[in-house]
Amino acid sequence: MIQRREGGPGPGAEREPDAAHDAAHDAAHDAAHDAGHGAALRGEIAEAARVLARLGLVTAYGHVSARAGKSMLITPAADLAGVTASSVIEVPLAAAVLPAGVLPAGVPAEAWAHLALYQARPDAAAIARAQPGGAFAVATVVTMMVPLHGQAAWLGESVPVCDDAALLRSADRAERGASCLPAGEALLLRGNGALTLGATPGLAVARMWLLAAACDVYLAAMAASGANPVTALSAGEIASWRAVGGELLPRLWEHLRRRPGPGEPWPGEVQGQDQPRDHRRPPAPRVMPLDLGEEREPHGSGPGREEP
């Protein structure tokens, strides 16, 4: 039998230093993990923002955010084309903890819209804010846009319109806007662009690109239909497309993150001197000289053609 010395530490006392050490180690590990996750998430937000800009869905205005525990991380009030991970700003999710309802310095004033959506939609993990051109047009003619093609179903069973063109620059106005999106992943803002949700910043941006495409399809269908009705997707068709969204939407994001902006070459292509790299400038049309006489009279006489 092992005896301990008189007055020496007992079994419980012997384990206490180990338990304290383990607790400190676990806390340090958790802190390092959280810091690593936060840094990675900041990188994802910054990349998503730059892709949003490269796709031409924003100009000088727009933002991307993600939920991070009891806070959100959001891009600054700046051109998204130049956003880096270090410029992403942390904002408490609970607006009540903000002093006098004032957002931190550098945060876009419409960050209230992100905060309101995170409060109203616990399933929202990331948000993109942009201004697709077609979104302005659609929001003036409908109160709800129904999907006309399969991929549009990944935006929701329908896309509601917030019928208030004012900027969402206050908690109250943002809460009213968020109440327009009780379900689904996209919201049109009349006169003010759109908001999309996603499980990651990249997927929120992919949905913004899809929303822009869906608006273009909707406008084209309405213009081409004339007096004929436009056939929207049925409830069963919408459900079938939404069932595969988790598989296919990430593939769209992987495509978009590599997709060049207007006038830029795809990876592996040679950038010509006459192809500007500025994502804001559309590529110049290519003009080929034509001999109209030869096109119109390939076998007969024409201007500049000698008689046989």
Within 8 A by CB and 6+ apart from 47, the residues are 201, 202, 257
pLDDT digits (tens, 9 = 90+) for 51-105: 999 999 999 999 999 999 999 999 999 999 999 999 999 999 987 778 877 899 9
Query: What is the pLDDT, as a whole number, of residue 227?
Result: 85
pLDDT digits (tens, 9 = 90+) for 228-271: 999 999 999 999 999 999 999 999 999 999 988 777 777 666 55
Highest mean pLDDT out of 16-20, 275-279, 289-293? 16-20
Side chain identity at 22, as an amino acid letter?
D
Among 201, 171, 30, which residue's Cα sits nearest to residue 101? 171
**Which run of H or of E encompasses 49?**
helix 11-54
Is residue 299 pLDDT above 70, yes or no? Answer: no
Is residue 116 pLDDT above 90, yes or no? Answer: yes
Cβ count within 10 A of residue 164: 15
End-to-end CA distance of the chain: 123
> Which segments of the chain are extended strands (E)?
63-68, 71-74, 89-92, 126-130, 144-145, 159-162, 186-189, 193-198
Query: What is the pLDDT, as a whole number, of residue 97?
Result: 78
Query: What is the pLDDT, as a whole number, of residue 6?
Result: 46
Q: Which residue has the higher pLDDT, 304 or 245?
A: 245
pLDDT, averaged across the chain: 83
Q: What is the mean pLDDT of residues 34-40?
A: 73
Within 8 A by CB and 6+ apart from 53, the residues are 62, 79, 80, 81, 279
Query: What is the pLDDT, as a whole number, of residue 38?
Result: 83
In which band, very low, low, confident or very high, does the pLDDT at 290 lie, cut at 50, 70 and 90? Answer: very low
Antiparallel, parallel or unpaired: β 186-189 and 193-198? antiparallel
